[in-house]
């Protein structure tokens, strides 16, 4: 591994979403946005519904939407573990906009959570565009 690289794993409950070498990762934690570069101090933090950005080695910045989870940083390894995660190029933005509209019109207990997840997916898609 080169001097400025991190080993990154983005894992959902049902699959590995992305794995590879990166120079930077930014994720939204319960304490706020966290940027990770090589030799970052060890961290274990809760993720909130939001967008994760990854700067892969030799490529353009990538975005993924995650539905909460955990972020672990140690020894230049970043593990992002989420119940659901999706890369921006896999997002059906029209379906997410419909979901957001539906969630905003509902009064159910899960309506706020559904709206936050849809908003995160829409943001990931828009950032990548």
**pLDDT at 107 (0 to 100):** 82
Same domain? 68 vs 19: yes
Q: How far is CA 74 from the centre of its chain?
A: 18
Tell whether 1 is covered by a domain.
Answer: no
CATH code: domain of residue 58: 2.60.15.10
Per the structure, the count of domains in the chain is: 2
Looking at the structure, tell me whether residues 44 and 102 fall in a common domain.
no
Do residues 32 and 78 both lie within one domain? Answer: yes
**18 and 92 Cβ atoms separated by less than 8 Å:** no
Strands 50-56 and 62-66, sheet pairing: antiparallel
Domain that holds residue 110: 92-128
Residue 109 lies in a domain: yes
Average confidence (pLDDT) over 16-38: 97
pTM above 0.85, yes or no: yes
């Amino acid at each position: 591994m080169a001097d400025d690289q991190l080993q990154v794993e983005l894992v959902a409950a049902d699959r590995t979403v992305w794995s590879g070498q990166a120079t930077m990762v930014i994720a939204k934690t319960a304490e706020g946005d966290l940027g990770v570069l090589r030799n970052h101090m060890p961290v274990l933090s809760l993720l909130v519904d939001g967008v994760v950005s990854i700067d892969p080695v030799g490529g353009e910045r990538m975005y993924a939407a995650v539905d909460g989870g955990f972020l672990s940083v140690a020894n230049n390894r970043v593990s992002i573990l989420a119940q659901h995660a999706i890369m921006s190029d896999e997002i059906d933005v029209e379906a997410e906009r419909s979901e957001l509209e539906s969630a905003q019109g509902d009064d159910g207990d899960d309506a706020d959570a559904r709206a936050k997840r849809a908003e995160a997916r829409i943001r990931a898609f828009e950032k990548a565009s």
